[in-house]
Each structure stands twice: as structure tokens, then as C-alpha cells.
Amino acid sequence: MNKLINLCREKIINPVLHSTAPVSEVSLGVAVGVFLGLTPTVGAQMYLVAIVWSIYRYIFRRHFNLPVGVAMVWISNPLTMVPLYYLFLLTGYLLLETKNVLSYELFTETLTRISE
């Protein structure tokens, strides 16, 4: 387990923490990563960050920090996914002014059945 933690620290965390990229590139990487991390494109989010990075770099001639963008995608991980999507559901209810017809228990039960 310690080898895995050290590997993650060496390959992911340290390059992000010790980045010499300009603040504008890091902040754009954070924005792209968080935006794509909160979309329902589970399983393709890191690839989408790479695609957006390529589009920004080769078409718009702008740069953002790719490792930071990929790291920010993990804001929605298997542990946070159900609470995040339930929060999205409640936000939709609030914005559309509809009744709360789906409880948290029913929501998690439905997601569990779908994932099996």
C-alpha cells in the first residue's frame, strides 16, 4: 500500500504541486477538469480533458496544465458520485420548481440496481 501511495505522490501529486506553469494555465486546467469532472461522462472524463487540451493547444493556440486538469477530474470518484448526482438532482428540482419525488434512499437504490 505504501508503494502505491508513494507512486501516486511521485507521479501525480508532486508534479502538480511543483508546477512551474503560469497561474493562468493552472487555473484553466482546474476549471476544465472540474467542469468535466462534474459531467455525467463517467469513464471518459480523463480522455475528454486530453481532447479539450488538444483542441485548446492546436486550434485556439492556448495552453492549460494537463496534469492539473486530469487530477481535477477525480473530484467525482466512485466515493463521491452518488452524493454529487443526488445534489444535481436536488438542484434540478429547485431550478425547475418541481416536487421532491425521489428520496436519497430511493436514489441510491436505483443507482445500485442500474450498476449491477
Whether 49 and 106 share a structural domain: no
How much is the pTM? 0.69
Whether 68 and 95 share a structural domain: no
Whether 91 and 114 share a structural domain: yes
Q: Which residues have C-beta within 8 Å of that of residue 15, sequence separation ≥ 6? A: 67
Mean confidence (pLDDT) of the chain: 85
Q: What is the pLDDT of residue 32?
A: 94
Mean pLDDT, residues 60-64 taken together: 90
Structural domains in the chain (count): 2
Question: Distance between CA 10 and CA 37 in Å, rounded?
Answer: 23
Q: Which residues have C-beta within 8 Å of that of residue 110, sequence separation ≥ 6? A: 102
Whether 63 and 116 share a structural domain: no
| First-last CA distance in the chain | 28
Whether 70 and 93 share a structural domain: no
Whether 50 and 25 share a structural domain: yes
Check whether 53 has a pLDDT greater than 90: yes
Whether 15 and 28 share a structural domain: yes
Residue range of the domain that includes 103: 78-116
pLDDT in tens, 4-23: 888 878 877 787 788 788 88
Burial class (CB in 10 A: 0-12, 13-18, 19+), 38: middle
Whether 14 and 38 share a structural domain: yes
Q: To 5 degrees, how large is the angle CA 78–CA 81–CA 82?
A: 115
Residue type for position 83:
P
pLDDT in tens, 91-109: 888 888 877 677 778 778 8
Q: In this structure, what C-alpha cell is assigned to residue 84? A: 454529487
Check whether 54 has a pLDDT greater than 90: yes
Mean pLDDT, residues 84-90 taken together: 85
With bands split at pLDDT 50, 70 and 90, how would you rate the model's confidence at 87?
Answer: confident
Whether 10 and 62 share a structural domain: yes
Element (H, E) at 88: helix 81-96
